Amino acid sequence: MRGPKPTPIVLTVRQHAVLEQITRRQTNPQHLVRRARIILTAATTVNNDQVARELDVDRGTVRSWRGRWLDATDQLRASEATDPPDQALTACIQSVLADAPRPGAPDSFTAEQVVQIVALACSRPQDAQRPTNYWLAREVADEAVSRGMVLTISPRTVARFFKSKPSCSRIAAAIG
């Protein structure tokens, strides 16, 4: 099935060099390398199907990244017009190739609240007049609400904080 030809990508010499550098650096994440290769190949090949076959990616992926690059062309030109150092141009290109923000609900708790709750769990329960030798998630949740750290929190959420955060000994060492 034939359709309209996609808009060609025209790279400047510096953009091409930065994209090549991204594809060659072994420490770059593979998603970034793949996207740079898509742009480099799309700049030499007009057809999205050919790019997709050559790089073994989906045609829709090529179409998406061609569109994102073309949408950012003015931003890239403006960045390059100021004659920035290569690191600034690399950062600009990497921002174009970065993941788009994903939809979803905002965090329910701020980082400060999470730190306060974890710090509470690192304290002794007796200091909070709790009749136990160690904290349970339910008791930490109750104490956090009673101290006004949060309006409401479930014990399950507290338990998740403990799974994803460093241990109390590492927190105490970091605090000093």
Find the domain containing 75 and state its range: 13-97
Is residue 37 in a domain? yes
Q: What's the whole-model pTM score?
A: 0.61
Q: What are phi and psi of 67, to 5 degrees?
A: -65, -40
Count structural domains, the chain. 2
17 and 92, same structural domain?
Answer: yes
154 and 81, same structural domain?
Answer: no
User: Which of the listed residues 64, 97, 130 is the one where a domain comes to its end?
Assistant: 97
Give the helix ranges, DSSP H, for 47-110.
48-55, 59-71, 73-81, 86-97
19 and 91, same structural domain?
Answer: yes
pLDDT of residue 32: 94
User: Which of the listed residues 65, 97, 129 is the one where a domain comes to its end?
Assistant: 97
Mind listing the pLDDT tens digit for each residue in 117-169? 988 888 888 888 888 888 888 999 999 999 999 999 999 998 888 776 555 55
Is residue 8 in a domain? no
